Amino acid sequence: MITTKQRSKLKSLANTLRPIVTVGKEELTDNILNEIAVALYHRELVKVASLKSCETPARVMCEETCRRLGCEPVLCIGNRFVVYKRSDKEGIEHIEI
């Protein structure tokens, strides 16, 4: 569980991120969750956007993603959400929170 100060730092880092994964009208499928998991492994902080055709709210998708992947919710605004998970990958610059 991340603290409020850690979440605040991650939010500031997420401001400059572009969405890496886009969810369409298919909503949260196993393939989308796999893409998010791979992005978390390589980057640790991932922004996800949903198209207007997606009927599921971003907050629900964020909760489902965190539950299934074991990551932490950072931010959920409008049709976008940001999740964080510390990566085991060596050779990348880890986010110090």
Q: What is the C-alpha to C-alpha distance for residues 24 and 32, in angstroms, rounded to an integer? A: 10
Q: Nearest 5°: phi and psi at 69? A: -105, -10
Domain ranges of the chain: 4-84
User: pTM value?
Assistant: 0.92
Contact (Cβ atoms closer than 8 angstroms) between residue 58 and residue 78 = yes
pLDDT band at residue 69 under the 50/70/90 scheme: very high
* pLDDT of 62 strictly over 90: yes
Which class does domain 4-84 fall in?
alpha beta
Q: What is the pLDDT of residues 31-60, one digit of tens each?
A: 999 999 999 999 999 999 999 999 999 999
**Cα distances (angstroms) measured from residue 67 to each of 6, 9, 72, 95:** 20, 22, 9, 22
